[in-house]
Amino acid sequence: MMIARPASILLFLTVLVQSQFVSAAEVSTSDPDTGQSALQSSIEQQQEVSRYRDRIAELESEYGGFDRRLLESLQGLTTALIAAGELDEADRVLQRQLHLLRTLDGPSNPDQLPTVAELINNDIRRQDWKNVAERFEYIYWLRGQDVDAAPEALLNARDDLAAWHLAAIYVGNPRIRFRNFQKARQWQRENLFFAEDSFAEDSPELIPWLYKHAITQYQVYAMLTADDELGFDARSEIMRIEGWPLKSYLREGLNTVKRIRNIVAAHSDTEAEAMAMIYEADYQMLLELGTSAKLYRRAMEKLKESGKTEDQVEAFFQRPVVLPVEQMYFSLDEALEEQAGYNYKSEPVENGDGDSIHMGDFIAWNESLPFLRRPGMPQLASSVKTPLNEVELVFSISSRGKSRNPKVLQSEPDKVRVKRDARDAIKAMQFRPRFVHGKWQRINDVKIRYLYPPRQ
């Protein structure tokens, strides 16, 4: 049912760039095998830079400054400069490569994409977050110039641009976090409109973009409830302009998931329809509607109709998760596999009843949105690394999906404020609780590894 994201070219470019270049820190340390000192390495790196500069000068003298034969040496010079830690100069050389490609092949030729990918990686090394956003905008512009491109290419390019603005909320300037969120919202809104224009009303290809819209509504709700300056900015801007009551955003999310369920129902896939019911019930639970239990029960029966055994269905509903789930899946196995990606573990208790639940890793968005899972990073920006506080906690989940008595087992750093932040975040989360034999059940001694960026 899901759109297969055509990210292969982007993944290839990212792997290519990351495999070609080493960081300045890696090349500046002594080599224990050769005994080469940092000074020796630095001298050799500068010699390599000089060789490429001399070669470029020779080519320019013989063929001029806009000859294709320059590209290989410019690429070599870029690699040497990055190895030497001269990142600003590497940026200038990459800009020249891009200009040369545009001159030789035309301003909208997609052959520029590998160079733009390299520019993004170098901007990340330089922590030039504004430039990263501009590169993603340029990729989106390039995709838009291809009149024969499939809609997915433009959707994915715009989605990457939105995803970067969401990422900039925790890696960029904290003073413009709300502005980044609003930009991401606008790009996602345009993506949904474009998808609705590109695909039939009941097309499964609409589903990923509809669900992103539903998740965005929950993000708006969370932003409006933040109790710091980010929440103040959100309330001042969003509520003043849009005028919606707070829970209207959750209802918009619920209505969107209902629309997804209607699309799924039109395609006669029983298991997919059951999963869509689960996501709809999740939003009902976020809204604290009493109808969620009934819909979860119907989903369980529908899963059994699809051929799932009672044991498989019960095993799934015995595993609590943080709501809303970031990605929509249309099979039980895919949903469980997604949990495994967070190191989720459910194991039988020795000499006891039930299972021991460790919900794995939860990386929070930032200190203002501590109960929201961090949105996914665009593949081309996957080299971004941020420091994270790390807290291991144990707590109970009530039959209504609320945490009880979160206790810190260990914390890094071992600071009172870090522990308090983690406990407060767990208290604010809404869980899909354990649901067995048609009834909610309290679950004790649930563990989670909670990570979040240090306060800026």
Neighbours of 127 (CB within 10 A): 12
Give which of 121, 79, 75 is closest to 96, Cα–Cα. Answer: 75
- The pTM score is 0.87
- What phi, psi does 9 have (nearest 5°)? -70, -35
Given phi > 0 = left and psi -120 to 50 = alpha, else beta, which region is 265?
alpha
Spatial separation of the C-alpha atoms in residues 302 and 283, rounded to whole Å:
19
- What phi, psi does 321 have (nearest 5°)? -135, 155
Contacts of 203 (CB under 8 A, 6+ apart): 263
pLDDT in tens, the chain (456 residues): 443 434 433 433 443 434 343 333 333 344 554 456 888 888 889 999 999 999 999 999 999 999 999 999 999 999 999 999 999 999 999 999 999 999 999 999 999 999 999 999 999 999 999 999 999 999 999 999 998 889 999 999 999 999 999 999 999 888 999 999 999 999 999 999 999 999 999 999 999 999 999 999 999 999 999 989 999 999 999 988 999 999 999 999 999 999 999 999 999 999 999 999 999 999 999 999 999 999 999 999 999 999 999 999 998 999 999 999 999 999 999 999 988 889 999 887 766 666 789 999 999 999 899 999 999 999 999 999 999 999 999 999 999 999 999 999 999 999 999 999 999 999 999 999 998 877 889 999 999 999 999 987
Angle between the N-to-C axes of helices 8-20 and 113-126, in degrees from 0 to 180, rounded to the nearest 10: 60
What is the DSSP code (8-state) at residue 436?
E
Q: Give the burial string for 241-269 (b: 16+ CB within 10 Å, else e).
A: eeebeeeebbbbbbebbebbbebbeeeeb
Q: Look-up: residue for tokens 């895919």? A: 334
Longest dimension (CA), the chain: 81
Spatial separation of the C-alpha atoms in residues 305 and 319, rounded to whole Å:
21
- Work out the angle at residue 419's Cα, subtended by the Cα atoms of residues 407 and 429, and round it to the nearest 5 degrees: 65
Half-sphere exposure of 245 (CA within 13 A, CB side): 3
Q: Look-up: residue for tokens 């794995």? A: 360
Spatial separation of the C-alpha atoms in residues 272 and 1, rounded to whole Å:
8
Which runs of E-coded beta strand occur in 131-213? none
Spatial separation of the C-alpha atoms in residues 154 and 229, rounded to whole Å:
34
